[in-house]
């Protein structure tokens, strides 16, 4: 099965064109006033007139043109940093999601509720009547302040409370 070729979006096509224009332009632009206000471009001492401003042109219009190349270089570099940060953030989020999804903490909680040692721990530490499984599950949900064990997988604070209870159980078990 052939993989579909990804086509760049119109915005990416435009960004690529801007990047090509900046890369193709001379690296050294200067504002000059040799009787006529203008811009030169080139490399080092070798400069060529690129444009001349009409003396009546608004200073704001002159400023935007005079700084266009430097502003584009800065914007492209900033865009690249932000895009890299965005990709890294998305990748980290996906790694965390895979890690979180890799372990079903709600199922872990259900399995522990079925273990005699965990029931004894709940009885000793939390005053739980371990006569039946429903009471155990209700009490654990109460301890974790959740309505459903599924919240352990979907709510970070519920998951942290589960981790604390699990750590408390482990510590209790090791101290027996």
pLDDT at residue 166 is higher than 50: yes
pLDDT confidence bin for 175, thresholds 50/70/90? confident
pLDDT confidence bin for 176, thresholds 50/70/90? low
Q: For 100-134, what is each residue's pLDDT tens digit? A: 666 889 999 999 999 999 999 999 988 888 778 88
pLDDT at residue 80 is higher than 70: yes
Three-state SS for the chain is CCCCCCCCCHHHHHHHHHHHHHHHCCCEEEEEECCCEEEEEEECCEEEEEEECCCCCCHHHHHHHHCHHHHHHHHHHHHHHHHHHHHHHHHHHHHHHHHHHHCCHHHHHHHHHCCHHHHHHHHHHHCCCCCCHHHHHHHHHHHHCCCCCCHHHHCHHHHHHHHHHHHHHHHHHHCC
């Amino acid at each position: 099965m052939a993989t579909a070729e990804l086509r760049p979006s119109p915005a990416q096509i435009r960004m690529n064109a801007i990047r090509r224009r900046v890369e193709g332009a001379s690296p050294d632009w200067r504002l000059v006033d040799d009787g006529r206000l203008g811009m030169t471009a080139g490399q080092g001492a070798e400069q060529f007139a690129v444009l001349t401003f009409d003396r009546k042109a608004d200073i704001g219009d002159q400023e935007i043109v005079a700084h266009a190349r430097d502003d584009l270089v800065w914007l492209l570099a900033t865009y690249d940093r932000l895009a890299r940060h965005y990709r890294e953030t998305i990748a980290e989020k996906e790694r965390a999601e895979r890690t979180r999804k890799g372990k079903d903490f709600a199922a872990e909680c259900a399995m522990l509720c079925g273990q005699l040692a965990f029931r004894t721990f709940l009885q000793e530490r939390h005053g739980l009547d371990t006569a039946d499984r429903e009471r155990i599950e209700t009490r654990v949900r109460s301890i974790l302040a959740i309505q459903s064990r599924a919240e352990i997988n979907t709510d970070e604070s519920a998951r942290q409370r589960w981790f604390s209870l699990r750590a408390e159980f482990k510590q209790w078990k090791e101290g027996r």
